[in-house]
Amino acid sequence: MENEINEETINSKKEQEIVKACMPVWGWIGFIAILIASVVVALLILFSTTPWLKGRSLFYAIKQDSTETALAELPSEKDVMADIGRLQKKIERLTPGGVYLIVNTTDNTFFLYQNKQLIREGLCSTGSYTKLEAENEKNWVFETPKGVFTIKGKITNPVWRRPDWAFVEEGLPIPPANDPSRYEYGVLGDYALSLGDGYLIHGTLYKRFLGQPVTHGCIRMNDDDLEAVYKTLPTGAKVFIY
């Protein structure tokens, strides 16, 4: 019994010593907390009593000052309108007159212009971007070229001369250059306009695919749209593809 009392007394003394040792630390923590609280209170009083700071918070004031600085650096409305005017004149100067065709390969749409006025628009199909590889390590990427082109030639009732890739795609042997198996009739529609390097604007048997990138690089159109483009664009007319 006496031993238990002695142990309790010893433990009590140790706890008292620990408390005494920690008191300076707690004192500093309390002091820092009071100091921070005092600073916050002082700022709140400042913002509530200073006329030009009333209605603002500390963080809003900092953000507002930054915003005002940024706004001050913006050009005036007069300068903006002057820039717009210059850009409009530049666009007018660069826009071709006469007739021309624009093809958007992302949306697979076309726009036919005459005298700077849009006279027809619609769906088309452009390159699929698929890659075909032959056993002889030759390969083709079926994409529609981008850039500014001119109509090289026009033809009615065109005949498709099948290139080598058409046979490779079907797993067939490649025939000689002028073999009859290379020629197919009635698959390009009633009209075709040549852009050079074998690329054509022509019709299609697969109208349900218009608006999708499914071709081997040519531009396919619906029958009515193709006829309008064919009859509107002369040889030498510009075609813008992007």
CA distances from 167 to 93, 124, 139 (A): 47, 25, 13
Give the pLDDT confidence score for residue 30 in this predicted structure. Answer: 54
216 is a catalytic site residue: no
pLDDT of residue 183: 98
Domains of the chain: residue spans and CATH: 2-73 (no CATH), 94-241 (2.40.440.10)
> Alpha-carbon torsion 186, 188, 193, 194, what sign?
negative
Q: Is 218 a catalytic residue?
A: yes
Tell me the per-residue pLDDT of 114-138, one tens digit each, with 9 for 90 and over.
Answer: 999 999 999 999 999 999 998 877 8
Q: How many CB atoms lie within 10 A of CB 182?
A: 18
Q: What is the pTM of this model?
A: 0.65
Under-70 pLDDT residues of the chain: 1-68, 70-71
